[in-house]
Amino acid sequence: MHMLKFRMRYWILQGEIWTLEVEGRGYIAHKLIAKSLTEFVREERRTVKVLDIGVGTGLVGVELQKLGFHTIDGLDPSQPMLEKARAKHVYTNLFCQYFTAGPTPGLDKDSYDVIISAGSLIRGHLPTDCFIEAARIVRPGGIICMLTRTEGSGSFNESGYQDQFRTVIKQLEEEKKLEEIKWEQLNYNSSSNGIMMAYRVLQ
Ligand SMILES: C[S@@+](CC[C@H](N)C(=O)[O-])C[C@H]1O[C@@H](n2cnc3c(N)ncnc32)[C@H](O)[C@@H]1O
């Protein structure tokens, strides 16, 4: 019980810190990732089924909806964040879960056309092997598109995180489960760069 209370306080605090970060540091990754996705999705956007991982307060979903995506689910381990996302009325289903390399309870193989994520592919958030599960959930021909911070403390480039991530990707490419579409340097916020990566799921 004590642990549960502690965890809830932690996530409420994280939510407040995140809101300050977004407002104070000119965060734009949510806008840029949504725009990037439109390069890779050729189908009728309204019916494309998207899962936003590390949904946070729902900023990515709002941008996706502006661009014509209407079937959007979200996943985040923080209930307070999810409540803020829910209040934006752009998500169909919201799952309170950690995303890892292992099967996500309730999410079937090939159940989404697209996985999108902004700001979560860093140590302490998504594990470096999470594309194993992303490739399972996205149907063959579907897209995984993520944008993450490459500068500043705890970024994608620090503590061997990127190297470990690339080792897993190389393995998935060798197994013909994924193919790279694009890596591109984009802004993350007003003081840091980020990297946008897009992959097509093959099987
Ligand atoms: C930097 S925030 C980004 C939020 C949102 N994507 C945005 O652009 O505003 C990172 C989010 O990832 C979530 N997160 C952390 N670890 C996670 C995991 N293993 N699986 C899914 N989400 C996770 C956090 O709770 C937080 O909401």
Residue 1 has pLDDT above 60, yes or no: no
> Average pLDDT in the 187-203 region?
94
Position 43 scores a pLDDT of: 81
Instruction: Look at ligand 1, atom 1, and give the residue with the nearest C-alpha.
Output: 119
Q: Which of 28, 76, 98 to mutate to test the pocket of ligand 1 (most atoms within 8 A of CB)?
A: 76
Domains of the chain (ranges; CATH) run 1-201 (3.40.50.150)
Q: What angle do CA 112, 197, 176 make, to 5 degrees?
A: 65
Ligand 1 in contact with 29 (CB < 6 A)?
A: yes
Residue 12 has pLDDT above 70, yes or no: no
Q: Which of 120, 150, 165, 196 to mutate to test the pocket of ligand 1 (most atoms within 8 A of CB)?
A: 120
How many whole angstroms from 40 Cα to the centroid of ligand 1?
23
Ligand 1 in contact with 120 (CB < 6 A)?
A: yes
Q: Please, are residues 122 and 149 in contact by the beta-carbon 8 Å criterion? A: yes
- Whole-structure pTM value: 0.94
Residue 156 and residue 163: Cα distance in Å, rounded? 9
pLDDT tens string 95-141 = 999 999 999 999 999 999 999 999 999 999 999 999 999 999 999 99
How many whole angstroms from 22 Cα to the centroid of ligand 1?
13
How many whole angstroms from 126 Cα to the centroid of ligand 1?
8
| Beta carbons within 10 angstroms of residue 144's beta carbon | 25
Instruction: Look at ligand 1, atom 12, and give the residue with the nearest C-alpha.
Output: 54
Give the ligand 1 atom nearest the CA of 127: 19
Q: What is the mean pLDDT of the chain?
A: 92
Residue 39 has pLDDT above 70, yes or no: yes
Ligand 1 in contact with 128 (CB < 6 A)?
A: no
| Contacts of 151 by beta carbon, 8 Å cutoff, 6+ apart | 157, 188, 191, 192, 193, 194
- Per DSSP, what are the bridge partners of residue 138? 112
pLDDT tens string 130-182 = 999 999 999 999 999 999 999 988 999 999 999 999 999 999 999 999 999 99
